[in-house]
């Protein structure tokens, strides 16, 4: 039976998770599983072969030395490294062919290389062709739309790859995930060169960690407006200072940290107001704000800042349930109800010490624990946010990393008929395996 061409293509495309969010978290193992499904489909007939091949060629995942890789535990890691090198060589052979459909169809490239300092991954044990293959793969792919490049650049060969990346230009690139472990600002400077060449970027995630303790002055790039078309951004304080405008920005993920600011620089302002005054705000088009590490307390100070900087906010993930929040919810909160009139979804985090609950930390302790005072405060939130539909309560992001800790997600739904909840779901495991979901 012959199917319409569009149907062949739709079915084949369904086997590949290719959204920007899916690509951000996809592993090489998952990519290989998708490849296996596509190859099985291609073996059915020529029609399936014709439509599934471009989908097969649309992504490359290079992943070696990742935290999930067990090679560092092996007595002899050479066989594993040789396998990586052989796989890269096969990819290169396909890319080098004249008129290669691989080059034309390749849209997403993910390179994740994180040798561990404590292991024996040094130049002498890495196959000679390994880094050369990655170097050439980058050079051959001018049609890329998505690039995830994460490296431990303390390794000299990886530093060379990163410097090479800064010389390249991908005219169709729209999504960038860039992570770098380094010991100097030299490679961060190379990263800024790459950003300057790609002003068309719409979705950018930046993560830089300098073991030397230096902090690159990203703010000095602001006058160049290197990312004028940005719609989504994930970054820390320093990188966010680079933005010159936010006219297209709708989604912001902010890895917030504790800042040490001299009193003279605060000039009478609280630290929260000073912090957000360093950005290009107000972010008048941002509807989704995600804050990690250091959450914001929803008290008078926090609400006024959010109202000034994010007046169109609809989804907030990153508020903190503290004593200050519980006290604030007991006052006349209707006075603040005009601060965020469009907010409909709120995720709030609880830190055990901050709410003064004495709870034993064994693996069967539900976290967050039961707390009637807190639940009453959360049920009162529609007084603050008239459009509120959903509140989710979670444990603080990095709290309780015990292997079998019992985590609890509580959710409340606010509907015209009344308040429904809390809906409760439990999860036992490490924080790294924890998944966001609503009951």
In whole angstroms, what is the distance from residue 350 CA to residue 379 CA?
A: 15
Helices and strands (H, E) in the chain, number of each type: 15, 15
The two structure tokens encoding residue 90: 């096969």
Cβ(247)–Cβ(285) below 8 Å: yes
In whole angstroms, what is the distance from residue 396 CA to residue 294 CA?
A: 10
pLDDT of amino acid 105: 87
Q: How far, in Å, are 2, 77, 185, 387 from residue 318 at the CA level? A: 51, 41, 30, 18
Return all residues near 309 (Cβ < 8 A) that are at least 6 apart: 276, 279, 281, 282, 283
Q: What is the pLDDT of residues 243-285, one digit of tens each?
A: 998 899 999 999 998 888 877 787 777 888 899 999 998 999 9
pLDDT of amino acid 305: 94
- Longest CA pairwise span in the chain (Å): 77
What number of CA atoms fall less than 13 Å from residue 85's CA on the CB side?
A: 14
The helix or strand, by DSSP H or E, that contains position 232, with its residue range, turns out to be: strand 232-236
Burial class of 379 by CB neighbour count within 10 A (0 to 12, 13 to 18, 19+)? middle
Q: Which is nearest to 394 in space by CA: 426, 373, 368, 413? A: 368
pTM (two decimals): 0.86
Distance spanning both ends of the chain, measured CA to CA: 43
Residue 410's beta-bridge partner residues?
Answer: 393, 424
pLDDT of amino acid 38: 93
Q: Which is nearest to 390 in space by CA: 417, 414, 407, 359? A: 414
The two structure tokens encoding residue 231: 């719609």
| Binned average pLDDT, 10 residues per bin, the chain of 439 residues | 80 89 84 92 89 89 61 48 75 84 87 59 58 87 90 72 90 93 82 94 91 83 94 95 93 91 78 91 95 91 94 96 91 86 94 54 62 91 94 69 66 91 74 39
Domain coordinates in residue numbering, the chain: 1-56, 60-215, 217-226+236-439
Cβ(47)–Cβ(3) below 8 Å: yes
Cβ(31)–Cβ(79) below 8 Å: no
pLDDT of amino acid 85: 76
Cβ(51)–Cβ(8) below 8 Å: yes
In whole angstroms, what is the distance from residue 106 CA to residue 102 CA?
A: 6
pLDDT of amino acid 119: 43
pLDDT of amino acid 405: 62
């Amino acid at each position: 039976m012959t199917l319409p061409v569009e149907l062949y293509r739709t079915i084949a495309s369904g086997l590949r998770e290719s959204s920007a969010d899916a690509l951000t978290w996809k592993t090489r193992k998952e990519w290989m599983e998708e490849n296996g499904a596509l190859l099985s489909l291609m073996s059915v007939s020529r029609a399936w072969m014709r439509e599934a091949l471009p989908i097969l060629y649309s992504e490359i995942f290079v992943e070696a030395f990742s935290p999930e890789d067990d090679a560092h535990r092996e007595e002899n890691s050479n066989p594993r490294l040789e396998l990586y090198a052989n796989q890269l060589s096969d990819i290169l052979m396909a890319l080098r062919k004249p008129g290669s459909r691989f080059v034309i169809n390749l849209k997403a490239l993910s390179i994740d290389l994180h040798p561990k300092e404590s292991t024996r991954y040094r130049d002498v044990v890495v196959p000679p062709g390994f880094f050369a293959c990655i170097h050439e793969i980058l050079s051959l792919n001018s049609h890329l739309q998505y690039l995830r490049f994460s490296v431990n650049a303390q390794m000299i060969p990886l530093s060379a790859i990163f410097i090479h990346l800064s010389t390249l230009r991908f005219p169709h690139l729209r999504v960038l995930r860039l992570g770098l472990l380094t010991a100097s600002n030299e490679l961060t400077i190379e990263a800024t060169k790459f950003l300057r060449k790609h002003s068309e970027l719409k979705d950018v995630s930046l993560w830089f960690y300098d073991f030397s303790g230096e902090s690159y002055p990203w703010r000095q790039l602001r006058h160049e407006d290197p990312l004028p078309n940005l719609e989504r951004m994930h970054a820390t304080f320093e990188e966010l200072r680079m933005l010159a405008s936010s006219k297209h920005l709708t989604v912001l993920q902010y890895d917030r940290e504790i800042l040490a600011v001299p009193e003279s620089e605060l000039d009478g302002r609280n630290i929260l107001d000073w912090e957000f005054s360093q950005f290009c705000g107000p972010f008048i088009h941002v509807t989704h704000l995600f804050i990690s590490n250091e959450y914001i307390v929803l008290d008078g100070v926090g609400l006024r800042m959010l109202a000034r900087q994010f007046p169109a906010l609809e989804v907030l993930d990153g508020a903190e349930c503290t004593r200050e929040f519980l006290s604030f919810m007991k006052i006349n909160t209707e006075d603040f109800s005009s601060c965020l009139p469009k907010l409909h979804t709120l995720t709030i985090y609880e830190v055990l010490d901050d709410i003064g609950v004495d709870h034993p930390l064994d693996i069967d302790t539900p976290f967050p624990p039961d707390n009637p005072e807190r639940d009453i405060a959360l049920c009162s939130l529609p007084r603050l946010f008239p459009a509120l539909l959903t509140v989710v309560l979670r444990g603080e992001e990095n709290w309780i990393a015990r292997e079998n800790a019992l985590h609890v997600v509580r959710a409340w739904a606010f509907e015209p008929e009344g308040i429904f909840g809390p809906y409760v779901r439990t999860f036992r495991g490490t924080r790294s395996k924890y998944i966001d979901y609503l009951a």
